[in-house]
Amino acid sequence: MPNMSLKKNEMPVQNPEVRNSNFNEVALGYTEEQAIDEAKRCLNCKNKPCTNGCPVKIYIPEFISQVAEGNFEEAYKIISKSSSLPAVCGRVCPQETQCEAKCVRGIKGEPVAIGRLERFVADWHNAQPETPVEKPVSNGHKVAVIGSGPSGLACASDLAKKGYDVTIFEALHVAGGVLSYGIPEFRLPKSIVQKEIDGLKALGVKIETNTIIGKTISVDELINDEGFESIFIGSGAGLPRFMNIKGENLNGVYSANEFLTRINLMKAYKSDNSTPVQAGRKAVVVGGGNVAMDAARCAKRMGADVYIVYRRTENELPARAEEVEHAKEEGIIFKFLTNPVEIKSNEKGWVKSIVCQQMELSEPDASGRAKPVPIPDAFIEIEADSVIMSIGTSPNPLIKSTTEGLDTQKWGGIIADENGLTSKEGVYAGGDAVTGAATVILAMGAGKTAAAAMDKYIQK
Amino acid sequence: MFEILEKKSLNPTVTLMKISAPRVAKKCEPGQFIILRTDEDGERIPLTIADFDRTKGTVTIIFQIVGATTEKLNHMNQGDCLHDFAGPLGRATETDGLKKVAVVGGGVGCAIAYPVAKKLHELGVEVHSIVGFRNKELVILEDEFKAASSKFVLMSDDGSVGEKGLVTDALKKLIESGEKYDRVITIGPLIMMKFVCQLTKQYEIPTVASMNPIMIDGTGMCGGCRLTVGGETKFACVDGPEFDGHLIDFDEAMARGAMYKPFERKAHEDTCNLFKQEVE
């Protein structure tokens, strides 16, 4: 008999007053009882609308029915057939616009908590004693993956399982891409990312850190000199955008990338650390996406009073509702319909305040979102010690500019077909490097699609 | 891991190291830089490549001990390994079409100016090197510069070696005496480069300055190294590190360079104290 409760089982979280000054994970995960109880809310629909809402088509009702029976390892196996990073996706996927948006239970009441269940299953599996992984039998073919973010990890995983000799090249000193440098510890513990990477290494995947493709070695050299038969480019969208307003290069103005990299990758939040970051007493974050929420919540944890400045209203915030909710609970103050026009300096060249123009919404523009229009002569000035620009990123031109015959869009995205094939034979691409900044799950899906196409290409 | 094959003290605060890094050595050119970390929890610091040997697979770095990381680096010895060593990063020095160049270096910046002078010399360019140091004790690479230059002028702040005065004095004298340079390349403290660029602007000599700002990744990701060049924001890591010296906003660069000074000073003191304790 299904559990007919209209509400999801709540997931325990750290108290907002406590968590806003520590970097431990905010959400604590279901207990076994909570998971089984929630799993029983699933109606096991025949046509699986939830699976259709999932970019990598996880067999959702199947794994949930195993959870309902208490067969957690079986549930893990089912998820693993489609996803390489369940512990990650269970945490950072926007389920509310994907699988859960399609859930029949959501028509009257709340959908089944698919994301929370995925996370539970992955965490349960990871807590079990490790079973030795069987290395797949080598098929004698050598492939390279550029970038160790979600798309690269997924691509490498699928290829390694098929017996390929896979080498991942990573520019930074740590693997994981945005999972390591971008998403904060309190939302995605780095031990989980490391576990996924260790899993890949156990499959025989080699990871060469400190290797910047396009600088240390080029794509063409990988093919011609090092004998890689096919290459996947998953170099992400790591180039920060700025607003080009006055004062943006003052001391105390960070790109969200820099601020988050200092904190997450370089561990600036630990007192014994060698990389500094200065959020100051008052921090202003500009932007309304998930990255802006991450930056704001990090600044809060570094001891600052934090404002988020966004030029539209709460309804248009691109960040996930859950992230916005968490940010508010933690005491982040939102200033909607405000758009920075200038950052003012103190006598020492540091940020003193940020001047914003007040906006109002007009009719929706071509993108379907209401367009913010400045209200003449309506300005506010917010005092600040630091300003964190979180208005988006674009793909890094390093690979494009050093690879013969690799076509890109005007804005920098690599052009790839539905299988990830680029304009260059044997070279595939996926994730943010192709689409521009998007989600972990879409990147992972693109990595998997390309892996299948690369396999076909080599085996033909 | 990147082994330290050779370590040499050039003066009391400047050290040279040859590092085994075959991939970097294979690709690097004068003007480019690397990023290193000494240990697993270390910070990432950029250092410009001072020399390289493609056949031996080595890259030479020369650094001044200014903060905690360079202090730690200086305590490492031949046979030790750097945890990370990534590069080459940035754009190489442009040398096309040059006939006669003045290379103006100051302090530890001479370590970066030298490979540029050497490369130009090898290409058959007439190189005049003007290098400046605070005093005699701090002079580095004198013989190397002499070997790569048809004219070599050594300046010191206190007159304890070479001529007393600033590099700008020497450069001005050469220009006034009728030397016609198609480019001046300057590498050193920001304040020195600022005045070199002001001087050459008067004479309308194209000038390139090599910037060394704070950065983290070195690949265009963080934007920490941004500077204003001709009114536009540029990233030193991918657009540079060399820029048109007549267009650089040096005052802004100096303010940004001082951003973590108090932190750096404290971290340096703490590190020194740690090393002292170990000795005691």
* Distance between B88 CA and the closest CA of chain A, angstroms: 6
CATH class of A242-389: alpha beta
pLDDT of residue B280: 61
**Dihedral class, residue A219 (left if φ above 0, else alpha if ψ from -120 to 50, else beta):** alpha
pLDDT in tens, A309-368: 999 999 999 999 999 999 999 999 999 999 999 999 999 899 999 999 999 998 887 777
Who has greater pLDDT, A397 or A186?
A186
Contact B263 A267 (CB under 8 A): no
Task: Quote the pLDDT of residue B279.
Answer: 64
Q: How many CB atoms lie within 10 A of CB B182?
A: 14
Interface check for B179 against chain A (CB to CB < 8 A): the answer is no
Q: Calculate how close chain A gets to B196, using CA atoms only, in Å.
A: 24
Bridge partners of residue B163, in order along the sequence: B155
- pLDDT at residue A302 above 90? yes
Element (H, E) at B242: strand B242-244
Q: What angle do CA A285, A393, A211 make, to 5 degrees?
A: 120
DSSP string, A23-41: -S-SB----HHHHHHHHTT
**Residue A199: helix, strand or coil by DSSP?**
helix
**Range A408-413 contact pairs with CB under 8 angstroms and sequence separation of 24 or more:** A411/A436, A412/A239
pLDDT tens, residue by residue, B47-57: 999 999 999 99
Number of neighbours of residue B262 by Cβ within 10 angstroms? 11
More confident residue, B277 or A231: A231
Q: What is the pTM of this model?
A: 0.94
B/e letters for B153-170, b = 16+ CB within 10 Å, e = fewer, are bbbbeeeebbeebbbbeb
Any idea which residue has 């893990």 for tokens?
A: A76
In chain A, where the domains are located:
24-126, 142-238+393-459, 242-389
- Arithmetic mean of pLDDT, A114-123: 97
Would you say residue B25 has pLDDT above 70? Answer: yes
Sign of the Cα torsion A276, A279, A285, A290 reads positive
**In Å, how far is A5's CA from the nearest CA of chain B?**
47
Q: Which residue of B has its CA nearest to A266?
A: B43
CA distances from A405 to A235, A415, A436, A458, B237 (A): 17, 11, 20, 20, 25
Q: Who's near A134: CB < 8 A, 6+ residues apart?
A: none
Over residues A118-145, the mean pLDDT reads 92
Smallest Cβ–Cβ distance between A249 and the set B27, B87, B233 belongs to: B233
- How many Cβ atoms are within 10 Å of A90's Cβ, its own excluded? 24
Decide if B147 touches A, using CB distance below 8 A: no
pLDDT at A35 over 70: yes
pLDDT given for residue B187 in this prediction: 96
Q: In Å, how far are A237, A254, A258, A285, A395 from B220, measured between CA atoms? A: 11, 14, 10, 21, 10
What does the pLDDT average to over A81-90? 91
Which residues make Cβ contacts (< 8 Å) with residue A267, sequence separation at least 6?
A273, A275, B41
- Kindly report the average pLDDT of chain B as a whole number: 94
Q: Tell me the average pLDDT across A51-77.
A: 96
Q: Which amino acid is at A331?
A: G
For residue B86, the chain A residues in CB contact (below 8 A) are 171-173, 210-212, 216
Dist CA A408 CA B212 (whole Å): 31
Give per-residue burial for A433-444: e unless 16+ CB within 10 Å, then b: bbbebebbbbbb
Q: What span, in angstroms and rounded, lies between the C-alpha atoms of A27 and A25?
A: 6
- A324 by Cβ neighbours in 10 Å (0-12 / 13-18 / 19+) ranks as buried
Identify the CA nearest to A135 among candidates A197, A232, A200: A200
Question: Among B24, B26, B37, B219, which would you mutate to test the A interface (most chain A Cβ atoms within 10 Å of its Cβ)?
Answer: B219
The helix (run of H) or strand (run of E) holding residue A334 is strand A333-335
Beta strands A253-255 and A386-389, pairing class: parallel
Q: Which of A241, A341, A256 has the alpha carbon at shortest distance from A299?
A: A256
What is the distance in angstroms between the Cα of B215 and the nearest Cα belonging to chain A? 9
Residue A7 amino acid letter: K
- Taking any CB pair shorter than 8 Å as contact, residues of chain A touching chain B are 171-173, 181, 209-212, 215-217, 238-240, 242, 244, 248-252, 254-255, 257-258, 261-262, 265-267, 272-276, 278, 348-349, 396-398
The answer to whether A29 and A87 have CB atoms below 8 angstroms apart is no
Q: Which of A94, A68, A99, A100 is nearest to A82 (CA)?
A: A99
Residues sharing a CB contact under 8 Å with residue A85, sequence separation 6 or more, in sequence order? A150, A153, A154, A196, A440, A444
Do the Cβ atoms of A242 and B228 come within 8 Å?
Answer: no
- Chain A, nearest residue to B89 by Cα: A215
The tens digit of pLDDT for each residue in B89-120 reads 999 999 999 999 999 999 999 998 999 999 99
Give the span between the Cα atoms of A63 and A71, in whole angstroms: 9
Q: Specify the DSSP element, H or E, that contains B164.
A: strand B163-164
DSSP state letters, A37-55:
HHHTT----TT-HHHHTST
Interface test with A, best of B216, B225, B228, B232 (most A CBs within 10 A): B216
Specify the DSSP element, H or E, that contains A169: strand A165-169
**Closest alpha carbon within chain B to A273:** B41
Residue B204 makes CB contacts below 8 A (sequence gap 6+) with none
Q: Find out whether A432 and A236 touch, Cβ atoms under 8 Å.
A: yes
- ipTM for the complex shown: 0.92
CB B250 within 8 A of CB A349: no
Give A24-126's CATH code, choosing from 1.10.3720.10, 1.10.1060.10, 1.10.760.10, 1.10.287.3510: 1.10.1060.10
Calculate how close chain A gets to B268, using CA atoms only, in Å: 10
Strand partners, B133: B156
pLDDT reading at A2 higher than 70 = yes
From chain B, the residues in CB contact with A181 under 8 A are 221
Q: Note the pLDDT tens digit of each residue in A371-420.
A: 899 999 999 999 999 999 999 999 988 999 999 999 999 999 999 999 99
Nearest to A238 among B221, B255, B258 (CB): B221
Label residues B105-128 b or e (16+ Cβ within 10 Å = b). bbbbbbbbbbbbbbbbbeeebbbb
The two counts, helices (H) then strands (E), for chain A are: 17, 15
Q: Across the interface, which of A215, A257, A265 has its CB nearest the CB of B89?
A: A215
* 3-class secondary-structure state, position A312: coil
Q: Which whole-number Å values give the CA distances from A240 to A105, A260, B167, B222, B223, in the listed order?
A: 40, 12, 38, 7, 7
Residues of A in contact with B224 (CB under 8 A): 254-255, 258
Q: B68 CB near a chain A CB, below 8 Å?
A: yes
In angstroms, the CA A23 to CA A268 distance is 11
Candidates A210, A241, A251, A346: best to mutate against B (most CBs of B within 10 A) is A210
Instruction: Give the angle subtended at the CA of A448 by the CAs of A85 and A27, to the nearest 5°.
Output: 20
- Whether A242-389 and A142-238+393-459 are alike in CATH topology: the answer is yes
Work out whether strand A165-169 and strand A351-364 pair parallel, antiparallel, or are unpaired. unpaired
Per-residue pLDDT tens digits for A264-281? 999 888 877 788 888 899
The reply to whether residue A266 touches residue B267, judged by beta carbons under 8 angstroms, is no
pLDDT for residue A355: 98
Cα distance between residue A195 and residue A79, in whole Å: 17
For CA atoms B218, B224, B225, B228, the dihedral sign is positive
Structure tokens at B101: 């160049």
Instruction: Tell me if A255 and B37 make a contact (CB, 8 A cut-off).
Output: no
Mean pLDDT of chain A: 94
Are residues A238 and B42, on separate chains, in Cβ contact within 8 Å?
no
Token digits of residue A156: 């490498």
Sequence-distant (6+) residues with CB within 8 A of A170 are A147, A148, A177, A207, A208, A209, A210, A211
Distance from CA of A348 to the nearest CA of B (A): 8
CB contact under 8 A, A274 and B42: yes
Q: How far apart are CA B74 and CA B82, in angstroms?
A: 11
Question: What is the per-residue pLDDT across B220-236, written as a single tens digit (0 to 9) for each?
Answer: 999 999 999 999 999 99
CATH topology classification for A142-238+393-459: FAD/NAD(P)-binding domain (3.50.50)
Q: Which residues of A touch B25 (CB under 8 A)?
A: none
Residue at token pair 């030795």: A132
**Cβ <8 Å between A274 and B222:** no
- The phi-psi region of residue A57 (left if phi > 0; otherwise alpha if psi is between -120 and 50; otherwise beta) is left
